[in-house]
Amino acid sequence: MTPRIVTARRDYDDSFTLERALATGAYEGLRKALSMTPEAVCAEVDAASLLGRGGAGFPAGRKWSMLRKAPTTYLVINGDESEPATFKDHLLIERDPHQLIEGVVIAAYALQVTQAFIFIRGEFALGLERVSQALNEAYAHGAVGRDIFSSGFSLDIVVHPGAGAYVCGEETSLLESLEGKRGYPRIKPPFFPAAIGLYGEPTVVNNVETVSNLPWIITNGGAAFAALGEGRSTGTRLFALSGHVERPGVYEIEMVKNTFRDLIYSPELGGGVRGGRAVKAIVPGGVSAPWFFPEHLDLPLGQDEVAQAGSMLGSGSIIVMDDTTCMVRATWRITKFFSRESCGQCTPCREGSGWLERVLYRLEHGGGRAEDVDLLLDLCDNIAPGLTWPPQQTTICVLGPSIPSSINSAISRFRQEFIDHVDHGGCPSGH
Amino acid sequence: MSHLRPELRARAEAIVAVYPQPRSALIPLCHLAQSQDGYLTEPAMVEIAELCGVTPAEVRGTASFYDLLHTEPVGRYVVGVCTNLACMLDGADALLAHAEQRLGCRAGGTTPDGLFTLEETECLADCDVTPCVQVNSRFVRTTTPEALDALLDELAAGGRSEEIPPHGTLNRVFRTVGREAPVEVVAAERAAAREAQAARAAEAEATS
């Protein structure tokens, strides 16, 4: 039986209250961390080999170690969860705000940071309420603020509401937004806000799920965490399963030990494809990821395993499309999303996303041309030259080069379906 | 004379005070102003600019980037229907079309009585209850036309006012603590922490 690391309290109706949190061990990990040196806390997280849960999968310990030599000024928690079909942080924010806050304090102590921010997307009105309430309780409990649990360590946390922009999930864009500006990603290098972050100061940005793992890691030890999973993918992970499955939801399962088939078909997990139909395509890690197909079902859910198969585990969101799904429509909707959310700084993304969206629209709704399929690929090639994975970068951030993933996947696999849309003068299945 | 009501003006000043730099309060203050007026009025933007130490043009320039910040009037209830992939696969387009018909306005429009604004949204991160619908950024989980109609009727009659008041709840829970120490004290503590860290690093180096 896999331990529940970040969802231990999810079955309690009052999981978000301080009473329930304290009755189930909240802030014990923090007390233990405060009895250790910051270096020893970092060493535990290193031993756990916790990979960042935001999408890029960068080792959290290594991110921190870049700052251990040159001191950090700010810690920023990224709770701007907006990658389509990713809804795991939503669960953690609403259902277990004290676990999140405890993780933030542990991370801040390890980094010796005295000011942290929790950035939560503005669409999470209830989540913002719960975290703000929990933070007030945590201050009163002595777990945040001056001289935490009489340890001499002080930390101030500010809950910051976002205002609705997908691109703010990109960490440099998030920092711009936190500075009160438009969410424009910053030009790299520097590649990490470690060098120049919030207000130009060294900053660590960690995902909500990443830090929510810390209380368990400190309580049980990094080695216990690393004993779960396999290879580089240690511990458990939250997978957000949606689309054509019987039981969509967020499931915490051990890394690598389960396959896509397990997640989709196990009775206690996805429960199978809806109506007993067949899988046509799977989006394996957010809509920025190249798609998988039925032959990938037995691939383990591990970061390197998925990367070697030519895609990414990304944000851990998996969308299942059954054999009735129109691939042109699915691709069009994903591209429409990118077109709406492009911040507009870089020409390939700003112009390219709109062109792609309009070509896909006319294929789906009538008016498609025979040359459109190749035109789509040519446009994609201009945004991410060579259509490789991982994509070549022509833009400031990865939003642009993520656009071709679904289009290239769908055309490579279902080219005839696109041609049928041209011949039929729109979607043959009559959408 | 403050455009924000006195209690909101006090809140605004408290929000500015928790940030190391006042400009960071810009978006939270926009949410605050919208909880009073529904959208960002000219005088509100001027007041936010003054509180954040920027120009009103910078407030507008920032606000116009974000979906949740409105520089034009919106209805008392902003109804968002997600049509992104997971919702699309479960009939979101039909639900949005129903909402347009029921409200008599297209997505992006507002009903003539100023009660409802309808929006087609991108993913709202609640993809196990599809199609996903939010009202004033609260998940309402009305996935059928019938359930959506019933909710709209209820809202129009003033129901659900605790969970979904007009113009939302983003500013319902505030910090009960201000900054607990002056900036100089924090800076001194940070310097001491750095010194201690450097000393431990040097010690570790010496022993290895």
Q: Please list the residues that pair with A321 across neighbouring strands.
A: A281
Q: How far is A314 from chain B (nearest CA, A)?
A: 15
What are A279-282's contacts with CB under 8 Å, separation 24+?
Answer: A279/A320, A279/A321, A279/A322, A279/A323, A280/A321, A280/A322, A280/A323, A280/A324, A280/A325, A280/A327, A281/A321, A281/A325, A281/A327, A281/A330, A281/A409, A281/A410, A281/A413, A282/A318, A282/A319, A282/A320, A282/A321
Q: Buried b / exposed e across B101-118, counting CB within 10 Å, b at 16+?
A: ebbebebeebbeeebbbb
Q: How far is B179 from chain A (nearest CA, A)?
A: 7
Q: Is a pLDDT exceeding 70 seen at residue A345?
A: yes
Q: Is a pLDDT exceeding 80 seen at residue A276?
A: yes
Distance, in Å, from the CA atom of B33 to the CA atom of B41, rounded to the nearest integer, reads 8
Q: Buried b / exposed e across A212-244, counting CB within 10 Å, b at 16+?
A: bbbbbbbebebebbbebbeebbbbbbbbbbbbb
Question: What confidence category does residue A105 fall into, taking pLDDT thresholds of 50, 70 and 90?
Answer: very high
And the tokens for A242?
């949606």
pLDDT of residue A366: 95
Test B86 with A166 for CB contact under 8 angstroms: no
Helix ranges restricted to H, chain B: 6-18, 26-37, 42-52, 56-63, 85-88, 92-103, 145-156, 183-207
CATH class, domain B6-63, is: mainly alpha
How many CB contacts within 8 angstroms connect chain A with chain B?
193
Q: Is a pLDDT exceeding 80 seen at residue B190?
A: no
Q: How far is A213 from chain B (nearest CA, A)?
A: 21
CATH number of the domain located at residue range(s) A231-322 in this protein: 3.10.20.600
Helix (H) or strand (E) holding A252: strand A249-254
Tell me which chain B residues have a C-beta less than 8 angstroms from the C-beta of A332. Answer: none
Residues 155-194 of B with CB under 8 A from A: 168-170, 172-177, 179-181, 186, 189-190, 193-194
Strands A74-79 and A115-120: parallel
- Which tens digits make up the pLDDT trace of A149-199? 999 999 999 999 999 999 999 999 999 999 999 999 999 988 788 889 999
- Which tens digits make up the pLDDT trace of B5-29? 999 999 999 999 999 999 999 999 9
Nearest CB neighbour to B168, from listed A125, A179, A431: A125
Fold of A18-226: Rossmann fold (3.40.50)
Cα dihedral A341, A343, A347, A352, rounded to 10, equals 0
pLDDT of residue A69: 67
pLDDT of residue B171: 82
More confident residue, A86 or B176: A86
| CATH of A327-424 given 1.10.10.10, 1.20.1440.230, 3.40.640.10, 3.90.1170.50 | 1.20.1440.230
Q: Stretch A281-303: mean pLDDT, rounded?
A: 97
Tell me which chain B residues have a C-beta less than 8 angstroms from the C-beta of A333. Answer: 83-85, 88
pLDDT of residue A67: 67
Proportion of chain B above pLDDT 70, given as a percent: 100
pLDDT of residue A131: 98
- Measured from the Cβ of residue B36, the count of other Cβ atoms closer than 10 Å reads 15
Q: Is a pLDDT exceeding 70 seen at residue A1?
A: no
- pTM here is 0.97
Distance, in Å, from the CA atom of B53 to the CA atom of B75, rounded to the nearest integer, reads 30
Q: Stretch A395-422: mean pLDDT, rounded?
A: 98
Distance, in Å, from the CA atom of A199 to the CA atom of A74, rounded to the nearest integer, reads 9
Q: How far is A3 from chain B (nearest CA, A)?
A: 23
Per domain, the residue ranges of chain A are: 18-226, 231-322, 327-424
B77-156 under CATH 3.30.110.30, yes or no? no
- In order of A81, A379, A388, B127, the CA distances from A332 in angstroms are 22, 14, 21, 19
- Which tens digits make up the pLDDT trace of B86-124? 999 999 999 999 999 999 999 999 999 999 999 999 999
pLDDT of residue B195: 84
Within 13 Å, how many C-alpha atoms sit on residue A43's CB side? 5
pLDDT of residue A127: 97
pLDDT of residue A68: 64
- In order of A235, B60, B86, the CA distances from A108 in angstroms are 22, 34, 36
Q: Cβ of A240 under 8 Å from any chain B Cβ?
A: yes
Same topology, domains B6-63 and B77-156? Answer is no
Question: What confidence category does residue A291 fall into, taking pLDDT thresholds of 50, 70 and 90?
Answer: very high
pLDDT of residue A56: 85
Per domain, the residue ranges of chain B are: 6-63, 77-156, 181-208
pLDDT of residue B197: 76
pLDDT of residue B170: 86
Q: Is a pLDDT exceeding 80 seen at residue B194?
A: no
Residue A90's φ and ψ, nearest 5 degrees, are -55, -45
Q: Is a pLDDT exceeding 90 seen at residue A360?
A: yes
Distance, in Å, from the CA atom of A271 to the CA atom of A264, rounded to the nearest integer, reads 6
Test A87 with B126 for CB contact under 8 angstroms: yes
Kindly report the average pLDDT of chain A as a whole number.
Answer: 96
Q: Is a pLDDT exceeding 70 seen at residue B59?
A: yes
Tell me which chain B residues have a C-beta less than 8 angstroms from the C-beta of A244. Answer: 89
- Which tens digits make up the pLDDT trace of A9-68? 999 999 999 999 999 999 999 999 999 999 999 999 999 999 999 888 899 988 888 766
Q: Cβ of A81 under 8 Å from any chain B Cβ?
A: yes
Test B68 with A90 for CB contact under 8 angstroms: no
Q: Stretch A111-121: mean pLDDT, rounded?
A: 96
Question: What confidence category does residue A309 fall into, taking pLDDT thresholds of 50, 70 and 90?
Answer: very high
Test B127 with A87 for CB contact under 8 angstroms: yes
Distance of CA A220 to the CA centre of its chain: 25
Residues 112-151 of B with CB under 8 A from A: 122-128, 130, 134, 136-139
Out of A67-81, A300-314, B14-28, which region has the weakest mean confidence (pLDDT)?
Answer: A67-81
Q: Is the dihedral of CA A67, A71, A76, A77 positive or negative?
A: positive
Tell me which chain A residues have a C-beta less than 8 angstroms from the C-beta of B179. Answer: 156
pLDDT of residue B201: 76
Nearest CB neighbour to A182, from listed B18, B62, B136: B62
pLDDT of residue A191: 78
Test A181 with B85 for CB contact under 8 angstroms: no
